């Protein structure tokens, strides 16, 4: 029988309208392309594809 456990979120993902994803909290970001792994506490990830610093947002979506 499965217990009804209350789950405490470790991280929050916010979808910014016409902009990036903001991820905050306790998480690890693994970038396999650069072979890096960081736990920044907060990160803004590009969703538009225009960023020159992918996977991070560089605000190119505003142009
Ligand atoms: S979402 Fe900001 S540069 Fe792509």
The closest-lying atom of ligand 1 relative to the alpha carbon of residue 48 is 4
pLDDT at 27: 93
What digits encode the pLDDT tens for the residues 20-52?
A: 999 999 999 998 888 989 988 999 999 999 999
Sorted by where each begins, the domain ranges of the chain are 12-62
Comparing C-alpha atoms, which of 47, 13, 16 is closest to residue 27? 13
pLDDT at 50: 97
pLDDT at 3: 65
Task: Decide whether any atom of ligand 1 lies within 6 Å of the 46 Cβ.
Answer: yes
Task: Decide whether any atom of ligand 1 lies within 6 Å of the 43 Cβ.
Answer: no
In this prediction, residue 2 has a pLDDT band, given cuts at 50, 70 and 90, of low
Model confidence, pTM: 0.81
Taken in order 22, 26, 29, 35, the sign of the CA dihedral is positive
Q: What is the dihedral of CA 59, 42, 18, 60, to 10 degrees?
A: 10
């Amino acid at each position: 029988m499965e217990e009804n456990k209350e789950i405490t979120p470790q991280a929050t993902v916010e979808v910014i309208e016409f902009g990036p994803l903001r991820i905050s909290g306790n998480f690890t970001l693994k970038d396999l392309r650069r072979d890096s792994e960081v736990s920044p506490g907060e990160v803004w990830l590009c969703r538009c594809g225009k960023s020159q610093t992918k996977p991070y947002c560089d605000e190119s979506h505003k142009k």
